[in-house]
Amino acid sequence: MSRIGKQEILIPAGVKISQQASAGGNTLTVAGPKGNLSKIFRDDITISVGDKGIKLDIKRNDKFSKSLWGTYASHIKNMIAGVAIPYQKKLILEGVGFKSEVKPARAGGGKELHFALGFSHPVIIPIPDTIIATAEKNNITITGVDKELVGSFTAMVRALKKPEPYKGKGMRYENEVIRRKQGKKTV
């Protein structure tokens, strides 16, 4: 039994939740002061939206439904938290000659992250519409209402130049500690 799934999810003031039946399952839409999110949930879990909270129940007592129970509860909690207070991840770019900046997209609307990472060419990444990215000196801040999208986009950006263990050059998370290696010893 899921401990997370059993608990009722409270709805804070200013957040509105609506539910619609769709072909793939139930579509849950969460609207708040910072944005809107919608997600499709399978029919294996019954989602009951009340005035003050959301209750989840399993339809079948099998292993798959039980595993979805707590997962769906966590997804709904993350959606509610994201539309109230957006999620934020910070990256720090360390290294001589490494630069980052946000520029308008060359083709069409939107923005792009431009990096100089020691390669022979600049690295350009388009920023999704639902994400806000800022680059001040070598600190990159990525903000958005969808926790999953913010985390995956940040991980993709970090993967461009992972920190190396000898000098610590590369891109790292704000609170990440890089384990250093000693390097060559001189005789």
- For residue range 140-152, what is the model confidence (pLDDT) as tens digits? 999 999 999 999 9
pLDDT at 23: 78
pLDDT at 108: 77
Nearest CA to 10 among 95, 90, 84? 84
Q: What is the C-alpha to C-alpha distance for residues 67 and 55, in angstroms, rounded to an integer?
A: 16
**2, 70 in Cβ contact below 8 A?**
yes
Our measurement of the distance from residue 38's CA atom to the centroid of its chain's CA atoms, rounded to an integer in Å, reads: 15
Q: Which pLDDT band holds residue 1 (cuts at 50, 70, 90)?
A: low
Q: What is the C-alpha to C-alpha distance for residues 77 and 99, in angstroms, rounded to an integer?
A: 36
Mean pLDDT of 106-123: 90
Tally the C-alpha atoms within 13 A of residue 112's C-alpha that lie toward its C-beta.
Answer: 13
Q: Any idea which of 11-20, 22-31, 72-81, 111-120 has the lowest mean pLDDT?
A: 22-31
CATH topology of domain 87-173: Outer Surface Protein A; domain 3 (3.90.930)
Nearest CA to 81 among 50, 47, 37? 37
Mean pLDDT of 32-46: 91
**CB neighbour list of residue 59: distance below 8 Å, 6 or more residues apart:** 43, 44, 45, 46, 65
Q: What is the C-alpha to C-alpha distance for residues 7 and 73, in angstroms, rounded to an integer?
A: 9
Given a cut of 80, whether residue 61 has pLDDT beyond it is yes
Per-residue pLDDT tens digits for 77-110: 999 999 999 999 999 999 999 999 999 988 778 8
Mean pLDDT across the chain, nearest whole number? 91
Mean pLDDT of 21-28: 84
Q: Does domain 3-84 have CATH number 3.90.930.12?
A: yes
pLDDT at 152: 97
Q: How do the domains of the chain map onto residue ranges?
A: 3-84, 87-173
Q: Which pLDDT band holds residue 161 (cuts at 50, 70, 90)?
A: very high
pLDDT at 165: 92
Domains 3-84 and 87-173 equal at CATH topology level: yes
